[in-house]
Amino acid sequence: MTKSSSASAIMLRAMDLLARREHSQFELARKLRMKGFAEDDIPRTLNSLIKSGLLSDQRFAEQYCQARTRRGFGPRRI
């Protein structure tokens, strides 16, 4: 696989995962590693997604807390 096709493949996979739900940077990097993408490509992809506003740890944390609150979890459990 060429570098440009690898870069587009990792971006497409990351965007596919983000389309389903919010992810933290850590979680998205872990999933991309598990799919076998090159370790050097992952930080570049994450930085690009952050700059474009598609990846946000703050948005992930807010969504996570809201989801847990709706399920009845309290502050200690969250």
- 77 confidence band (pLDDT: 50, 70, 90): confident
Mean of pLDDT values over 25-46:
96
Nearest to 42 by CA among 9, 10, 2, 5: 10
- 16 confidence band (pLDDT: 50, 70, 90): very high
The per-residue pLDDT for 3 is 57
The torsion defined by the Cα of 45, 16, 55 and 49, in degrees rounded to 10, comes to: 30
The per-residue pLDDT for 55 is 98
The per-residue pLDDT for 75 is 78
pTM (two decimals): 0.83
Burial of 36 from C-beta contacts in 10 A (0-12 / 13-18 / 19+) = exposed
The per-residue pLDDT for 74 is 79
